[in-house]
Every structure is written in structure tokens, then in C-alpha cells.
Amino acid sequence: MTLEDIEKELYRSGDELKKRRRKKTVVKKIEPQEEVARDWPEAEIVAPPSVELTTQWARRIVIGGVIFGVLLVGGAILYISYSGNSGASDINIQVFSPNQIAKGTPLDVSFDISNGSQTILKDAILTLNSSNGLVNLNATNGEGIYTENLGDLGIGSFSKKNYKFLAIGDANSSQNITATLGYVLESGSRYELKQTADILVKNPAITLTLQKPDQILSGSSFQFEVDYENNSNFDYPDVILDLTYPDAFKFSSASLTPTSLNNQWNLGELAAGSKGSLKITGVLNGASGQSFGIGASVSARFNNRNYELATAPLNLTIAASPISLQIAVNGRTDYTARLGDKLTYTIQYQNLSGIALANVTVTADLLGEMLDYSTLSTNASVNPATNRLTWNASNVSGLRLVDPGSSGSVSFNINLKSQFPIARLGDKNFLLRVNATVNSPSVPYYLSASKTEATLNLDTKLAGLTSITSQVLYRDADSGILNSGNLPPQVGKATQYTVHWIITNYSTDISDVVVAAPLASGVSWTGQIKSNIDSVPLYDSQTNIVTWTIPRIVATKGVIGDPIEAIFQISATPNAAQLNQFEPLLGETNLSATDDFTDLAITSVAPALSTNLIYDPTVGQNGGRVTQ
């Protein structure tokens, strides 16, 4: 509103002037001021804004400032990042590999690395990480992570890296190779690029096929065949074939001479498309219907390491034997022999072939150094060089023709030696073995064999032996224990003695050994004890029994080297009733243990001890009789 308008408002004419309300006017004193001449028009006087309007404008200014600051910082970061990684999108790594490969086949994988940026890539490193089913043949040990330093990659540079891998993963498994390119830009920051290639492993390049006869008889020789073929376009320079046999299989021969242990063959080079076969002959022993497994594997050698390329199993089942065979010793198949035993072996056979078997021969091969061949008694023909017994129609007429379903038996007797032939620590766990065979040239139609045959082995364990010796001495300086008292002993007066327990163990390890004996009446325990092992005898005053517990004693202990020995001191006071007699000191000593080889109980007994000091060389024959 102008000054002129104000005047018109204030000084309107007419009645309206009276109707207006007059406002109170406040007059302030204004100090006179020096008048200043000016050329511009006088400024318009504007009233100050309200408080609410001022707050709104302040808020808008603050928000705008914050937004501007964020945009400024973000732009700076983008600028710095762009300037530091200028051209990063032009840095590339590419992986070229086949999509699929046969197991066991080497494959070439190439990596293209290009630097299309305007900066040098410093300290470039290429890292290859392959899954377990791929072996990097460029690596020393074929490890899964392989690293190569590329140095600096110049502006516009391009390089190609070639590596060879071997596929060893399971058939139809997915494997992968991840290539990582690491580098440093001029800014000092380190960056990485990754590229992954997936590869499908197909069926093995080398196939294995195992063939077996329709029937396998226990104890009869049979043949199985291993066929191998290289179905790839790769020439394998060094191929190895391995077989694993069950314990029941006995190798006889092979069409190719084994390289090692009758179960490994170095086949040499296996050219692309070539094939071969290996025939194995052997004997399998087992019960009718029992199954066994033979495993075959083929491997190739790369960088002085063998890599398994293919495997194949072969299941063998024992067919019902046309001849039933059984061996018993002293009427049992599980007999445990002991020193000095008299053994009667019986071999029983029965014709189950369905045809008559002519000219049957029964043989028995005897093995075991504990057999006393001088006591052998039999009607068989004996070959002393091989210890083979043979029965045929010449000494058993019934073997000329054995009708279907008929049976018979042959037998022989032999004694065991009375002592173990122990000469070294390893002479332990003695075993007796009889290998029996029954055969006939008559062959039933369902067998593809040159003869009908059955074999059976019987192993008989020989139990061990442990002895305990109990001795008592008066003068025993070697023990280090000093005995006191009168000798000959006197009624009512105490005399001290030392008791020695000596254990000798022969052919088997034993465990849970316990030695025990009671003290006689009038005898007391002094507490003086010694032992050459960790455990010592202990006295129980409630039972008056001395007990020595030993966890384990090895075979040949005391036969070779010193025996186990314990010494303890006792004190004996004879009474009047024992005058002119030998005073009892210790009851029978009993040893019990478990034979670890046969699981049988081992026992040994030493006689009771008295003052009849037969083990003390310083005491005469009657020097231990009680006197007054």
C-alpha cells in the first residue's frame, strides 16, 4: 500500500469518517539525526515475518544442505573409483574347456587373459582351483589349488595359458575349474576377476569286465578272466592292473607273469582302441553257498603318481560240492591239543555227485613242527619227504568205485612232542594242520572240469604251558633279605625264611595270572617283599593267603631270558607237636591264567613247603627238623 492510499484511507470524507475506530498511537522519541542527502527513492517499509514462517524456511535450508552434501560426497567417491579403476571392464579372463570328458581321460584347458584398460596390471597372479574329481597335471602333487605368478600385464596385453587336467571323478559327476586373476592397479588397490567352467565326467575311458565259470567248487581249481579295453582316443603310456583276493582264495597261476605279489600286473602302454585280457587260476575254499568278492582296478601313471581310472567287482559263490568232506581229530573238529597228546585223525567222504566215482584218491598233507612223525601209524602210503599220506584202491578197496550217496573214511594216528622247540622269541602259537583232498577222474555232466575234487583243511591249536615253582631258603644273601632265628628251628622260637615264586611261560601269551598259597599255622607275614616286575605278592590277614596278581605274561618268558620271580619273607614258630619233624611253612601254590591263543584255562601247581629246605644248599638233609 502506497502513502497516497494510506492518506485516502485516513481522510475519507462523509459519515464514514465518524464510524471508524481510532487506534491508539504510541509516539517514541527519535533523536535527531544528521540528514544525509541521497539520490535513490526512499525504501518501502515492510513488516518482519512471523516466527512460524522463519522456522519453515530454516528447515528447508538445512535439508537442502544435507542433500547437497551427500551428492557432493557420492560424486567424489564415484570420481575417485572411476579414476582408480579406469578401464576395469576391459580386463578379462576366459576359460575354454570341453563340456564333458570320459573318466580317466586327460583334458586340455586354456585361459585367455587380456588387459584392454589404460593402466598396467601389476603383480598379476593366476589361481586355478579344481574340484576333487579333476587333477591338475601341471601341479607337482596334483593339488586342487594351483598358483602361477604372471608378473605385470602391460596396457593392451593378451596372454594364453594352457594346462592339462585328468578327470578322476565318479561317472556322471559334475566337476569344475575356477580361474581367479588377481592384480594391483596404480592406486595400490588389489582386484580379482573370476571365471568358472563346469565339466561333466562320463563313464570310464578304460572298461573292465570280469568273467567267471558257472560253478565254483570248494577246493577245486577254477579260472576267471579280466578283460580290459581303452575306449578313448588317448594312448596311456603306463597302465597297471591290480586284483584283490579274499583270504579263502589261493593263487595258482596267471596267463601273464605278475609284477608283484601275484596280484599286480604292469600292462605298459595301452593304445587308443586297444584291448587285452588276463586269465587267473586258483582255488577257493569255503562252505557251500558262501560268497566271496574279488576286486579289479586299473590305474595309469602320470607325473610319477598312480591314478585309479576304473574298477570292477566279481562275486564268487561256492557251489554245493559233489563230494562231502570232513576232518576230525580225536572225534572233534574243534579239538585243542596239548603237549604229548596222542592224536587220531579221521577223514570222512561222501559221494554227492549223482554218478559213481571211480578210482578215488584221498590224500592228507601233515604240517606242524610239534608232530612226532616217528609215531605215525597208518595204512596209507607215506612220502617222508613231503609228509603226504595217500589212500587209493591199492590200500583201501572201497575207493575203487564209490557209488552215488555212499561214504567212507580213512584215518591215521600220530603223537605230539613232549617239549616245545623254542629257540627264539617268535617261537609261539604252535599250530597243527592237515590238508585233505579227495578226487576222481569221473566228472558229472554239470561240471566243466578235468576231475571231480574236494579239499578241506583242519587247523588244530596247541595249548600253551606255564609252570610255577615254589622254593624256601634260610640263607638267602642273593635276595638281599636277611633271615634271622635258629636253624635247626627250635620249639617256641621264631625263625625267618624267604619264599621264592618263579614263573616260566612257554608257547603262548597268557593273561589274568593269579598265584596264591596259604601260610601254614604258626607262620606270619613279615612284609619283606621283592619282585622283578611291577606287581608283588600281597598278604590277606583275614584269609591268611598270599596272592600275586599279574595282568599279562608274554610267551617264552623264562625259556628265553630270566623268568618272572617274586620273593617274600615269613616267620615261623614251631610248636612241641612238631618236634623232630619238618615244620609246614606254606601250602600248595596254585597258578591260574587264560591262554590268549586258545582261550583255554592254564593251571599249574607247586607242592607245599616246609623246613625241609631242599633248595637251600647250605642246609643238610635233616637240618630243618624242629629241635627242643
Q: Domain coordinates of the chain in residue numbers?
A: 89-203, 205-319, 323-461, 466-610
- Judged against a pLDDT cut of 60, whether residue 24 lies above it is answered with no
Residue 11 pLDDT exceeds 70? no
Greater pLDDT, 67 or 597: 597
Q: Can you give the pLDDT at residue 30?
A: 29
Mean local confidence (pLDDT), 240-259: 93
Confidence of residue 51 (pLDDT cuts 50, 70, 90): very low
What is the predicted pLDDT for the residue at 78?
A: 42
User: What are 70-96's pLDDT values in tens digits?
Assistant: 455 454 444 444 444 444 568 999 999
- In the predicted model, what is the mean pLDDT of residues 35-55? 42
Residues contacting residue 552 through CB under 8 Å, at least 6 positions apart: 509, 510, 511, 513
88: three-class secondary structure by DSSP:
helix
Comparing 61-70, 268-277, 423-432, the range with the smallest average pLDDT is 61-70
Fold of 323-461: Immunoglobulin-like (2.60.40)
Cell numbers given for 360: 578215488
Confidence class of residue 305 from pLDDT cuts 50, 70 and 90?
confident
Q: Confidence band (pLDDT; 50, 70, 90) for 559?
A: very high
Share of the chain above pLDDT 90, in %: 68
pLDDT at 154 over 70: yes
pLDDT of residue 260: 85
| Chain position carrying cell 613231503 | 386
Confidence label for 557 from pLDDT (cuts 50, 70 and 90): very high
| Average pLDDT score over residue span 546-559 | 97
Q: What pLDDT, on the 0 to 100 scale, is given for residue 438? A: 95
Residues 6+ away with beta carbon under 8 Å from 345: 327, 328, 329, 364, 411, 412, 413, 414, 434, 458
Distance CA 93, CA 107 (A): 19
pLDDT surpasses 50 at 4: no
Higher per-residue confidence, 28 vs 160: 160
Pairing between strand 216-217 and 305-319? parallel
Residue range 205-319, CATH number? 2.60.40.10
pLDDT at 370: 97
Residue 59 confidence (pLDDT): 63
Q: What is the mean pLDDT of residues 525-531?
A: 97
pLDDT at residue 328 in the model: 98
Burial of 101 (0-12, 13-18, 19+ CB in 10 A): buried
Can you tell me the distance from the alpha carbon of 303 to that of 137, in angstroms, rounded to the nearest whole number? 7
What confidence score (pLDDT) does residue 143 get? 65
Model confidence pLDDT, tens digit, residues 362-382:
999 999 999 999 999 999 999
* pLDDT the model gives residue 1: 41
pLDDT at 517 over 50: yes
Mean pLDDT of the chain: 86
pLDDT band at 472 (very low <50, low <70, confident <90, very high): very high
Q: Is the pLDDT of residue 353 over 60?
A: yes
The predicted structure's pLDDT at residue 43:
39
CB 414 within 8 A of CB 382: no
Q: Mean pLDDT over residues 159-183, rounded?
A: 91
How far apart, in whole angstroms, are the C-alpha atoms of residue 158 and residue 185?
17
Cα 2 to Cα 48: distance, rounded to the nearest angstrom: 18
Query: Is 65 exposed, middle or buried, given 0-12, 13-18 or 19+ CB atoms closer than 10 A?
Result: exposed
Res 624 pLDDT > 90: yes
Reading the block at residue 125, the C-alpha cell is: 597372479
Whole-angstrom distance, CA of residue 341 vs CA of residue 356: 39
Q: How confident is the model at residue 428 (pLDDT cuts 50, 70, 90)?
A: very high
pLDDT band at 67 (very low <50, low <70, confident <90, very high): low
Tell me the pLDDT band of 29, cut-offs 50, 70 and 90.
very low
Does the domain formed by 89-203 have CATH 2.60.40.10? yes
Nearest in space to 208 (alpha carbons), one of 94, 116, 311? 311
The CATH-assigned architecture of domain 466-610 is Sandwich (2.60)
Q: What is the pLDDT of residues 114-145, one digit of tens each?
A: 999 889 999 999 999 888 889 888 887 656 78
Q: Does the pLDDT at position 443 exceed 80?
A: yes
So what's the pLDDT on residue 467? 98
The pLDDT value given to residue 397: 96
